[in-house]
Chains A and B, each alone.
Chain A
Amino acid sequence: MSVLVYIQTQDGTATKAGLEVASFAKNMNVGDVTALVSGTLSGDGGLGSVGVSKVLHFSEAVTDNAQLSKLTQAAAKNAAASTIVFSGNNDGNAIAPRVAIALNVGYVSGVTCLPEGKTFTRNVFSGKATAAVNVLSDVRVISITPNSFGIKPDAVDASVETFSADIGAQRVVINGFTPTSNDGSVPLPEAERVVSAGRGLKGPENWGIVEDLARALGATTACSRPVGDMGWRPHHEHVGQTGLTIRPDLYIACGISGAIQHLAGVNQSKVIVVINTDPEAPFFKAADYGIVGDVFEVLPKLTEAIKAL
């Protein structure tokens, strides 16, 4: 038995999400971990460091999810994989379901912890509940929620093998790519620390104090829905039931009331800090630490205290 992981790379090295997927697969403890990489790869892409024993390298960079599905199916056959693991980010979520259909096997998306036998745990109802899902087929495809498992170093020697397969024609052509952030911060779904702000900030011109705190913490910024809707912040920062669901280690909510739809996207964060002038704000009920206070006074103080660490 073996586990196949689909790994995304940047400049030839596995991304954080990729290393997490490989770590998860290794820790499932059901056999050797084989990684599938398409496009540029330098050395083993860092994959041996998290327990991958073999890397199948398809030299051409593939982006069309239909082609990636075919490529994964071929790699799964090559590795005789009984479990195929993807990151539950946008890219993984577009490929994994296709693979499950093509192989006619069960698919569990958004897995948050290691399985017990054939039972996987995932979040449902936008984080308001979890479901234990049994996979009835002999082979299974899963995607794991980014930042739910983490990267667990476990160095082995990884062999790299050139891999080829018939993946059909490309039908979705990419004309251009615009990165969401050009400041080099971690994409929101993968971020370990997030500083988020809402209508309490009063206007887009006041985001400096939010960004300062985020920078001091090495955090990524997020916002509530009305803030995205009013164009104070870009749409991709919107978290909640109709935005991104995230689970950072630390979520700092500044001037956000904590409406149920907002909480749905963030309540799995490991530690929640709430800063709000209203002691009755519902967010305090979901928080681990709270400050009743004005963000315009509190945030600069926090930034200073963090810089002083």
Chain B
Amino acid sequence: MKLLVCISKAPDTTSRIAFTDGDKRFDESGVQFIVNPYDEWYALVRAIELVEAHGGSVTTITVGDTTCDPIIRKALAIGASDAVRIDANPTDSSQVARLIANYANDKSYDIIFAGKESIDNNSSAVPAMIAECMDLPYVAFATSIDVDGDVSTLNCESTGGTNNVTVHGAFVLSATKGMAEQKIPNMRGIMSARTKPLTVVEDSGVTAPTEVSKFTLPPAKGDCVMVDADNAADLVRLLREEAKII
């Protein structure tokens, strides 16, 4: 089995969110980066489990500059076989997808994994876009996968329920909760990650059809109106008369 897992760096979930360059760019100063949780906990860990069971290799692929190297080493420590980094600074999901597809096109991966979304951009777009670029089937929001030869069977979250689906041959999936349990790298993993191959690939040059003109932080919330616990009915009155919500 030859698996490719897309991983991106994301700000730690407790990071302070701030912007620079006239509010056009995320301010990375002082921010701790992690592997995007959906990519790590669900996509990467399940891919490693499949290779442990069936044999083969798990390659991770990341689009970004050298600041991504620590999270790539983390993925290798968890158990990926090798890593590829496309040396580019994308500003749009389609750029990321096209760069990955350009790289993967002639490499005959059996399955391309990604997380269901990144926790910074939240677009949920890259895996579907890779699938379209490569004319592959796409199974979105997968919560489980079993592989038997050329046939993969998955559960995936659709609107209002779960679909059980089958797909033959190569495809792209996005992984969400349920796919696997978080895996903490052990000492041996961390040591071996240092010597596993990380190939840096040149930017194949694709342009972005969108651009962020401005990031904005949400307005501060007003004070919370406190209601006495003995007078819970008063809350219901406020929700109706003041908030006009029920």
Give me the interface of A with B, judged by CB distance under 8 Å: 8, 15, 17, 63-66, 69, 89-91, 93-102, 104-110, 119, 122-137, 171-181, 187, 189, 193, 217, 228, 235-236, 238, 241-243, 245, 249-250, 260-261, 264, 267-268, 270-271, 273-274, 284-294, 297-298, 301-302, 304-306, 308-309
B-chain residues with CB within 8 Å of residue A238 when the two chains form the complex: 177
Q: At the interface, yes or no: B11 with Cβ under 8 Å from chain A?
A: yes
Q: How far is the CA of A106 from the CA of B208 in the complex (A)?
A: 8
A21 to chain B: closest CB distance in Å? 12
Q: At the interface, yes or no: B213 with Cβ under 8 Å from chain A?
A: yes
A-chain residues with CB within 8 Å of residue B124 when the two chains form the complex: 93, 97, 109-110
A125 to chain B: closest CB distance in Å? 5
A-chain residues with CB within 8 Å of residue B208 when the two chains form the complex: 136
Q: Are A305 and B159 in contact (CB under 8 A)?
A: no
Q: How far is the CA of A128 from the CA of B136 in the complex (A)?
A: 34
- A306 (CB) vs chain B CBs: closest residue: B236
Q: At the interface, yes or no: B178 with Cβ under 8 Å from chain A?
A: yes
Apart from A109-B93, A172-B171, A264-B119, list 17 A-B contacts with CB within 8 A: A66-B132, A66-B138, A99-B132, A125-B11, A125-B122, A136-B208, A136-B209, A174-B163, A175-B165, A242-B38, A250-B243, A250-B246, A284-B224, A289-B224, A289-B226, A290-B225, A297-B229
A-chain residues with CB within 8 Å of residue B177 when the two chains form the complex: 228, 235, 238, 242-243
Q: At the interface, yes or no: B81 with Cβ under 8 Å from chain A?
A: no
Instruction: Pick the interface stretch among B48-56, B59-67, B215-223.
Output: B215-223
B-chain residues with CB within 8 Å of residue A124 when the two chains form the complex: 120-122, 215
Q: How far is the CA of A275 from the CA of B215 in the complex (A)?
A: 32
A289 to chain B: closest CB distance in Å? 5
Q: Are A302 and B235 in contact (CB under 8 A)?
A: yes
Known A-B contacts A126-B122, A175-B164, A260-B14; the reply to A106 vs B224 at CB < 8 A is: no
Q: How far is the CA of A137 from the CA of B209 in the complex (A)?
A: 6
A-chain residues with CB within 8 Å of residue B125 when the two chains form the complex: 93, 96-97, 100, 107, 109
Q: 0/1 per residue, B23-37, Cβ < 8 Å to A?
A: 000100000000001
Q: Which of B131-175 contact A (CB under 8 A)?
A: 131-133, 135-141, 143, 153, 157-168, 171
Q: Are A90 and B132 in contact (CB under 8 A)?
A: no
